[in-house]
Structure 1
Amino acid sequence: MEALLGPDEIDLAPWSSRHTFPSPGDVDRELARIAEAHPACRRERLGPSRGGRPVTMLTVPGGPRHVLVVAGPHPNEPAGNLTIVALARLLTRTSRWTGSIGCTWHLVGCIDPDGAALNEHWTSRPLDLDAYHRHFYRPPMARQPEWTFPAPGWDRPLPETTILHQLLTTLRPEVYIDLHNADFGGAFFVMNRPHPALSTALRDTAARHRIPLSHEGIDTAGWAKDGPAVHLMPPAHEMVITPPGKDRPSHGASSLHHLPDGAIAVMPEVPLWPARTLPTPYTGGPDGSGYADLMRRAAATLSERAELLKACLDRVLPHLPRDTAVFTDAVTDTLRAATGCATLWDSMAGGPVTRGQYAASDDGAISFPLRAAGMLLRALTAEPVAARPAPLEAEHAAVAEAFGGWINDLQATTPAPYPLEAVVGLQTTTALRAAAIGP
């Protein structure tokens, strides 16, 4: 069955008109309302988060095949919260995607509500680049439900990870959709294994929602593909590596490494903003040497900005309140990832580089420092101005100045955000087509 939606079939009210996203609490209340209006559905509390917030799920019955959809694996990626609402409304309005294809759906509103709460200052406002980065939060990988699944050398799953692991074990879904969104550019997808029919359908889905494909990603460099813009998750032993000098990995495995046998999983990565205007036009030859030079420059820019922020962080840590560690630990992890990317891009620039690869590196050279600077500013402003030691005031001024220059450059090169109907429509249709096609 073809799983195609028209714009009028996706109900995003009231968030679409405001260009905002529902909080985990908003999603939970909407799922409760739907369960009350549709007695065949079941809403259940799966457990508390680390901070005591509820993690809930709505089950929409329809047949023996189970589909599990999870929102919020990264708390700075709120599009999935709205997609869960859209899916719940759609699945309870028609049997086209339940009984007609024999699927029972399980919709988890937000798997990391604690992290999402630290992003609500920007997710509850119309999309804005300055607010996004100034109030940004993304935890270290060791505190992400998506990346703390059991793996060799790693046995520290979070409560939220345990909840999701138990769902995968008990429900044994045939189809698993892990809802992600990116910042800029085009859409791409991550799957657990090749599935040519589904991969083709995913590319077609992006075209139908008028979101271009991104053939390269910051996070997927070097990964195998199942055709253009569809990446395959590497095995756990390639992703979970113990750093030199450490006695354990810095994070665990992904949910895609713990699926039931035969299941198919899709991570749709859907951007909030279109591709930026690249600041430097390509003038190189057909061998790609021009892009290689530009990638090398992006790596150098990223290294320079990461070193600036790392030096500032080292200076301010002794003066910061203890409770700011939620931000400073995340800054450290972001800068570690940035340094790794800069090293990778510099090595890739030794050979031919495509426009997509360069664009990904250029995005990273902008976004990594802004994310880290935004979280560092949140730590530096945790106390009122009058209570801050003089060293913190000086460092705050320096970071704020750097942030201001970087965000001005970003705003000057970034178009208006995509309509939420397109972003959520692509995630929703991805789930429907995966369920209809099956494993």
Structure 2
Amino acid sequence: MQALPVPEEFDLAPWGARHAFPSPGDVEAELAGISEAHPHCRLQQLGLSRGDRSISMLTIGGGPRQVLVVAGPHPNEPAGYLTVIALARLLTRTSDWTGSIGCTWHLVGCIDPDAAALNGHWTSQPLDLDAYHRHFYRPPMAQQPEWTFPAPGWVRPLPETTILLELLTTLRSEVYIDLHNADFGGAFFVVNRPHPALSGALREAAARHGIPLSHEGIDTAGWAKDGLAVHVMPPIEEMVVTPPGKDGPSHGASSLHHLPEGAIGVMPEVPLWPARTLPTPYAGGPDGTGYAQLMRRAAATLHDRAELLKACLGRALPHLPGDAAVFTDAVADTLRAATGCATLWDSMASGPVTRGQYAAADDGAISFPLRAAGMLLRALDAVPAASRPALLEAERAALAEAFDAWIKALRVTTPAPYPLQAVVGLQITTALQAAAIGP
């Protein structure tokens, strides 16, 4: 295997010095410049988003092994935008990861540029907890390209999903990297199938970049594992659930469910901030039962805050303009997920709870309400202050007070962000290792 590059070899300029991220437009411009400067590169427009924004792909090299790397599957996870730029710069600076291992690389800068644009205020600034949550946006699952792949009962893929599905079909890529990032804690990985050699390399990559592994995750509770911190995506039937009283599922399948036969797919979940300081020290026995009460408390906190936000949303909705729906629909979806997690954590607390499980629940009890509150504030601000009725003004003032209190408490327990050299470096190393090992 080729020698892995050291973090200093990753060119993050100019964003790395500011601890900020490029926009999808910045990525498009960078990839276009690289294509013009290097004859062995080709930039291709794949199509347009729902909002008529360009979705492009840079192809580098000409080896037989096809590697597809996609950034921006979720618009509040911008690390991949910088990773694609830094990876393209690395691949065009050396042939070690193209010709020498026989790879052709296909880099998609952002698969959901419309939703990414709604996060542009915080992603363009130095990474900050207040700005992140106050300007946060993540669409409902039914409007996420990552979760609208065809599934039983779900045949409504978005244009962006269709673009990616056609890529997976035509490229027949043997290696697929879907670039995700988490908020707090350690790194973990989601794979489409067990692959012990690759899973071991992923854990080594995290250690190489000084990011600890996350033993548990909010989204992966109960999933099979391929060793520590490597989770195997469950089959479609387990992931796509039809809610009671509905004719069909609320969302579709994931990209990992639609890879070519024999391919390997990896979602590296790399955190922006280190693990938060848990507010209550562990005082239980060696089996972890001491965390059960704390898990139940996290569930109660999340439930109470979700109910507060649901009530605020319900009172505000009749007074909001139609264009605020982009935020209010997302708030409602976030609160549905929060309520589901609170119920799950409360049931888990009836048995032994590990420190990792409690830490994941504690993070969720903080982040779900802040995300929803930030988006609801954006919805309320759709009505100009000068014409805002008294009811909306009172709702906004109460919501802003709660938001500020939650952020203040979050700052007390959250360390400084990870260096972007480590975050981006781990995503790049994941891609390089997967490409070298192959399926």
TM range (shorter): over 0.9
**TM-score (norm. length: structure 2):** 0.99
Which position in structure 2 is the counterpart of 1:190? 190
1:152 aligned onto 2:152: yes
| Counterpart in the other structure of 2:238 | 238
Rounded to whole Å, the distance in 2 between the matches of 1:286 and 1:103 is 48
CA distance in 2, matches of 1:257, 1:289: 36
Give me the whole-angstrom Cα distance separating, in 1, the residues matched to 2:73 and 2:3: 25
1: distance between equivalents of 2:359 and 2:3? Answer: 32
Task: Report the 3-state secondary structure (helix = DSSP H, G, I; strand = E; otherwise coil) of the residue aligned with 1:92.
Answer: helix
The runs of at least 4 aligned residues of structure 1 exceeding 4 Å deviation read none
Work out whether 1:213 is the aligned partner of 2:213. Answer: yes
Residues 61-114 of structure 1 deviation map (CA, whole Å, 9 limit, x = unaligned): 231110000000000000000000011001111110001000000000000000
Structure 1 residues 241, 93: closer, same or farther in 2, change over 3 A?
same
Residue 68 of structure 1 aligns to a residue whose secondary structure is: strand
2:7 touches 2:421 (CA, 8 Å); kept in 1?
A: yes
Partner of 1:55: 55
- Aligned residue pairs total 439
Is the contact made by 2:289 and 2:354 (CA closer than 8 Å) also made in structure 1? no
The one-character-per-residue Cα deviations of 1:176-223 (angstroms, maximum 9, x if unpaired) are 000000000000000000000000000000000000000100000000
Q: Which residue of 2 aligns with 1:135?
A: 135
Cα distance in 1 for partners of 2:289, 2:103 equals 50
Residue 359 in structure 1 maps to residue 373 in structure 2: no
SS in structure 2 at match of 1:352: coil
Counterpart of 2:215 in structure 1: which amino acid?
Answer: H
Q: Does 1:123 align with 2:123?
A: yes
Measure the CA separation in 2 of the matches of 1:284 and 1:113: 47
CA distance in 2, matches of 1:38, 1:307: 55
Contact 1:111 1:160 in 2 (8 A): yes
- Report the Cα distance in structure 2 between the residues aligned to 1:177 and 1:286, rounded to whole angstroms: 38
Q: How does 1:28-427 map to 2 (within 5 A)?
A: 28-427=28-427
Which amino acid in the other structure matches residue 345 of structure 2?
W
Distance in 2 (alpha carbons) for counterparts of 1:215 and 1:164: 30
CA RMSD in angstroms, aligned pairs only:
0.6
Deviation at 1:3, TM superposition (A): 5.0
Cα deviation, 1:302-357, whole Å, max 9, x if unaligned, reads 00000000011011100001000000000000000000000000011111110000
SS of the counterpart of 1:101?
A: coil
SS at 1:265's partner residue?
Answer: strand
Counterpart amino acid of residue 242 in structure 1:
T
Matched residues in 2 for 1:4 and 1:377: separation?
45
- AA aligned opposite 1:391: L
Partner Cα separation in structure 2 for residue 307 and residue 8 of structure 1: 47
Partners of 1:192 and 1:7 in 2: CA distance: 28
AA matched with 2:422 = A
Is the contact made by 2:23 and 2:124 (CA closer than 8 Å) also made in structure 1? yes
- Matched to 1:395, the amino acid is E
Q: Deviations over 1:399-438 (max 9, x none)?
A: 1111011000001110000000000000000000000000
**1:383 Cα offset (Å):** 2.0
Question: Conserved in 2, the CA contact under 8 Å of 1:43 and 1:57?
Answer: yes
Q: 1:2 Cα deviation (Å)?
A: 4.2
Q: Percent identity, aligned pairs only? A: 82
> Which string of whole-angstrom CA distances, capped at 9 and with x for unpartnered residues, describes residues 218-248 of structure 1?
0000000000000000000101111000011
- For each residue in 1:138-192, what CA deviation from the matched residue of structure 2 results, as whole angstroms up to 9, or x when unmatched? 0000000000000010011000000000000000100000000000000000000
Structure 1 residue 386: Cα displacement: 1.1
Distance 1:367 1:3 in 2: 38
Distance 2:325 2:212 in 1: 38
In the alignment, the residues of structure 2 paired with residue 182 and residue 2 of structure 1 have an alpha-carbon distance, to the nearest angstrom, of 29
Equivalent pair of 1:278/1:413 in contact (CA under 8 Å): yes
One-letter amino acid of the counterpart of residue 332, structure 1:
A
Unaligned runs of 5+ in 1: none
- 2-structure distance, mates of 1:391, 1:245: 33
Counterpart-to-counterpart distance in 2, 1:349 and 1:4: 43
Question: Aligned partners of 1:286 and 1:68: how far apart in 2?
Answer: 44
Q: What are the superposed Cα offsets for residues 258-307 of structure 1, whole Å, 9 maximum, x if unpaired?
A: 00000000000000000000001111122322101100000000000000
Quick one: structure 1 residues 287 and 40, their matched pair in 2 at CA, closer, same or farther if it must change by over 3 Å?
A: closer
* Partner Cα separation in structure 1 for residue 389 and residue 322 of structure 2: 15
> What is the Cα deviation at residue 382 of structure 1?
1.1
Residues of 2 paired with 1:329 and 1:430: CA distance? 34
3-state SS, counterpart of residue 370 of structure 1: helix
Q: Contact conserved, 2:2 with 2:97, CA < 8 A, in 1?
A: no
